[in-house]
Copies of this chain bind each other. A is one copy, B any other.
Amino acid sequence: MRVCFRSQVDPQFLDEYRQRHAEVWPQMLTALEAAGWENYTLHLGDDGLLIGIVDCDDLDEIRARMALTEVNARWQTEMAALFPASETAPDNGFMVMEEVFNLDQQLAEAGPTSEGQMK
């Protein structure tokens, strides 16, 4: 299942955010993989809008697994400076977005009759 979440990077620090994420620590990469972060990408808007996309059954579960790692604590502490001031770590500010359309699901529900309507 694909999960999409949003957050907000401080617009002052977009370049630094890009640089840091172009070269994530190898230990952080393998920790994410081991924790079940499949097909994980991050996307940044010019206004600091940050979108994360990951394939998983349960985002809370894979976040909890990362929270157990020492490397994640170190990484999030360094990233915190790039997010607007708040009391929470950056990865606690991830808000899941509601899926309002899924093409494959609706195609499956429409069934084979939909093909006839195409013609």
Name A residues whose Cβ lies closer than 8 Å to a Cβ of B: 2, 4, 6, 17-18, 21-24, 26-27, 29-34, 37, 39-45, 49, 51, 53, 95, 97-104, 106-107, 110, 113-115, 117-118
Q: Which residues of B contact A99 (CB under 8 A)?
A: 41-43
Q: Are B45 and A101 in contact (CB under 8 A)?
A: no
Contacting pair A6 B118 (CB below 8 A)? no
Of listed A34, A39, A100, A114, residue having the most chain B CB within 10 A: A100
A29 to B100, Cβ gap below 8 A?
Answer: no
For the complex, give the distance between the alpha carbons of A37 and B34 in Å.
30
Inter-subunit contact B101/A21 (CB<8 Å): yes
**What residues on B are CB-neighbors of A26 within 8 Å?**
110, 113-114, 117
| Selected contact of A45 from candidates B6, B24, B34, CB within 8 Å | B6
Residues of B within 8 Å of A98, CB to CB, are 18, 43-45
